[in-house]
Amino acid sequence: MILANCLFRSGGCAILLTNKRSLRHRCIFKLKTLVRTHHGGKDESYGCCIQKEDEQGRLGFHLAKNLPKAATRAFVDNLREISPKILPVRELVRFVAVYSMRKLKGLRGKPPVINFKTGVEHFCIHTGGKAVIDGIGASLELSEHDLEPARMTLHRWGNTSASSLWYVLGYMEAKRRLKRGDRVLMISFGAGFKCNSCVWEVMRESGSGSGCGATVWDDCIQSYPPNSLANPFMAKYGWINNEDPATFVLPE
């Protein structure tokens, strides 16, 4: 059990959506597809990440040890559903052929991975922590360039839960990475347990100096990425991790 304000920072976002064709020329992004995976029907998934009171009646956030397992299950199910909607047929055929061949030959080791870069150019990853970013990056075989927006968002704004996706997208806009016709894959996680993903198509370039509005990064984007992502507080207070837990028990 931990206090919610020790896990999440204060953050929020707002977007304006429309289905009016007359406003198409003003849109920056177009929603191509969206997939929502919710495992609330499974007890272990529902209870792995939930706000509740402890034995002493203190309200806090409970993270169970099976959280990574529940997150992985939701992530895999979500990708299985969205992949046919966003990837070219040739990539799906290649993956099935390689997977079937390895299974027939009884080969072991690292399983084949679908190349999502054949269907999208950019990745907006939920910044739930360094482990989350590293895990998704390893699963999708993403480069450090792909993961940079998520890492910088975590460094600058912290874990703002699902709203972090728009901070990540804002970083891409401020860095002028998004070009017309590019596709952006968003992946987020949340209590429930759920995994949501969607793909946006860039309708026109945006960011500083483009005439498409400012971003939350405008006042600091020139200093990113920094030379080091080391946490300065770890150097000063990291010793606490090596202390005997009994040291912090208050006498009755």
DSSP 8-state code for residue 2: B
Annotated catalytic residue, options 39, 122, 145, 227: 122
Euclidean distance between CA atoms 32 and 28, whole angstroms: 13
Backbone angles phi, psi at 175, to 5 degrees: -85, 0
25 is catalytic: no
62 is catalytic: no
Cα Rg for the chain, rounded, in angstroms?
A: 21
For residues 173 and 215, is the Cβ–Cβ distance under 8 A?
yes
How do beta strands 183-190 and 29-38 pair? Answer: unpaired
How do beta strands 49-53 and 29-38 pair? Answer: unpaired
State both tokens at 67. 């959280």
155 is catalytic: yes
For residues 86 and 33, is the Cβ–Cβ distance under 8 A?
yes
Contacts of 42 (CB under 8 A, 6+ apart): 70
39 is catalytic: no
Closest CA to 67 of 180, 160, 189, 161: 189
For residues 195 and 78, is the Cβ–Cβ distance under 8 A?
yes
Euclidean distance between CA atoms 141 and 154, whole angstroms: 20
Annotated catalytic residue, options 62, 66, 115, 155: 155
Annotated catalytic residue, options 62, 66, 115, 159: 159
State both tokens at 34. 């969206």
Annotated catalytic residue, options 38, 62, 66, 115: 38
First-to-final CA distance of the chain: 21
Catalogue the active-site residues.
38, 122, 126, 155, 159
